[in-house]
Amino acid sequence: MEICIVGTGYVGLVTGACLAEIGHRVVCVDDDLEKIATLKQGRMPIFEPGLDNLVTRNRREGRLSFTTDLKEGIEAATVIFICVGTPPLEDGDADLSAVEQVARQIGELSSAYKLVVEKSTVPVQTGMWIEKTLKVYGGGKDDRFDVASNPEFLREGSAVEDFLHPDRIVVGVGHPRAERLLRDLYEPIVSGDFTCPTHGVCREAGPIPFVVTDIKSAELIKHASNSFLAMKISFINSVADLCELVGADVERVAEGMGLDRRIGRAFLNAGLGFGGFCFPKDLQAFVKIAEKCGYDFGLLREVDRINELRIVQAIKKLKDHLWILKEKVIGVWGLAFKPDTDDVRYSPALALIHRLLAEGVAVKAYDPKAMERVRQQLPSLLYCQDPYEVASGADALVVATEWKEFGDLDLPRVRTLMRRPLMLDGRNLFDPLKMKAMGFEYLGMGR
């Protein structure tokens, strides 16, 4: 099928590359000249495992191309995916101006039938507004456009894998024609009938659930899923606080809870809380749209509040042990909002560092992928070559992101390098007993 992707951020680029990988012809459009130039030179604007190989191969084989010309992209395609950003406004609402602008342009520039698919995370009722916009700017004809909602469930760091091997595909449609097109488009993934770049032929995986709903329900599935996962994290973080008060271990509690198949172990990792460009903003946007529609989603406001408190509590723990923070040297392992990504947007690690700096701490830091991104916004940090350099001379170390390589370090060496062997393990990466046996003053999260 001929596909146009508008917006080449994480979602757009992964969607475009993966749809090309399963055999479609894809044109990716972005108005960021520099980004398109980078992609045309065969370089990646973001770090995402497996993505560069996919982009390179599909470009070479002629199924994937990049342009800044939206008209060219629209003319070439029957299905257009809107993947532009929906950043948060001051009041937590989602800024939908880019979505509206693209819908308007599609309306004006299309001369034949188009299926317009919202892939960006948007509040419920956005599809309805896209439909209206296409109609008004498309000259009033009703049958030239269909609109569908097709939310993404891609985690940064495993986005390619999540796209090609999803738990489910959700499409919200208002017309059987749209459903037919989307079924055809996703058929190779649903049936596993494609050669997967990591596993080869995946046919034995079995059919992937293809959930068809109305547009509004699909929009809600996205916001509700992200908010539910965020709720699980804040829940276990609250349990972690209680564990500390009574002397229990949250890891064991999560394990015992998670074995119940109705609960599941995933997203019950206590720590510094959730960050990234999805959960914090989606949670707020969900609360906001609910409020606009007349529902007070107090439950989710509390989820957000608990998450904000994680950093405050981490600082308190450091103060409880170091007494005075001013002029202490504190090392931070990890800057990305989670491992396997260079994304630092709404990173709990950065929230913590900002507070440490405000207390007058000298902060040293290392991250395997994200240092370049932070260097511009935080020039006062001491950026280190490796985790050992971070530990050297430090009064305390904080594990802020659970990169696998931190788990494989020579910990006795780390301890001897530190001025004081105090470790705040903000991601429960290490075993408390082993750490204490090695001579660390070890502080976990809820252990």
Q: Which residue has the tokens 């800024």?
A: 95
Q: Nearest distance from residue 403's CB to ligand UGA, in Å?
A: 11
Closest approach of ligand UGA to the CB of residue 340, in Å: 9
Cβ at position 359, least distance to ligand UGA in Å: 23
Are the C-beta atoms of 192 and 202 separated by less than 8 Å?
A: yes
C-alpha distances (whole Å) from 173 to each of 117, 148, 217, 377 are: 9, 5, 10, 42
DSSP state letters, 179-205:
HHHHHHHHHHHHHT-SEETTTEE-GGG
The strand pairing partners of 212, in sequence order, are 171
39-76: b or e for each residue (b if 16 or more CB lie within 10 Å)? beeeeebbbbebbeebbeebbeeebbbbbeebeebbeb
For residue 271, say whether it is annotated as part of any ligand binding site: yes
- Would you say 269 is a known binding-site residue? yes
Pick 74 or 220: Cβ nearer ligand UGA:
220
**In the complex, least distance from residue 279 CB atom to ligand UGA, rounded to whole angstroms:** 5
| Closer residue to ligand UGA in complex, CB, 65/237 | 237
d(CA 159, CA 15): 9
Catalytic pick among 28, 202, 278, 384: 278
- Consecutive H or E run containing 6: strand 2-6
Give contact residues for ligand UGA (rule: CB under 6 A). Answer: 121, 152-156, 226, 229, 233, 267-269, 271, 273-276, 278-279, 282, 337-338
Task: Pick between residue 46 and residue 233 the one whose CB is nearest to ligand UGA.
Answer: 233
Least distance to ligand UGA, CB of residue 367, Å = 14
Residue 156 among known ligand-binding residues: yes
18: nearest Cα among 208, 181, 160: 160
Determine whether the annotation assigns residue 144 to a binding site. no
Q: Which of 114, 159, 170 is nearest to 15 (CA)?
A: 159
Nearest to ligand UGA of 338, 447 (CB atom): 338
> Which residues, listed in sequence order, are joined to residue 363 by a DSSP beta bridge?
330
270 is in an annotated binding site: yes
Give the span between the Cα atoms of 378 and 372, in whole angstroms: 10
The answer to whether 154 is a known ligand-binding residue is: yes
Pairing, β 169-173 against β 210-213: parallel
Burial class, 437, CB count within 10 angstroms (exposed 0-12 / middle 13-18 / buried 19+): exposed
Q: Is 121 annotated as a binding residue?
A: yes
Residue identified by tokens 């406004």 is: 89
Q: Cα(345)–Cα(174) distance, rounded to whole angstroms?
A: 35
Q: Is 278 a catalytic residue?
A: yes
Q: Whole-number minimum distance, CB 393 to ligand UGA, in Å?
A: 28
The secondary structure of residue 193, as a DSSP letter, is: -
**Residue 225 CB, nearest approach to ligand UGA (Å):** 7
On whether 298 is known to bind a ligand per the annotation, the reply is no
Is 119 annotated as belonging to a binding site? no
Strands 145-149 and 169-173: antiparallel
**Residue positions counted in the chain:** 447
Beta strand pairing status for 329-333 and 169-173? unpaired
Give me the active site residues, please. Answer: 278
Q: Residues within the annotated binding site for NAD(+)? A: 30, 35, 86, 121, 156, 281, 345
Annotated binding-site members for substrate: 153-156, 222, 267-271, 275, 338
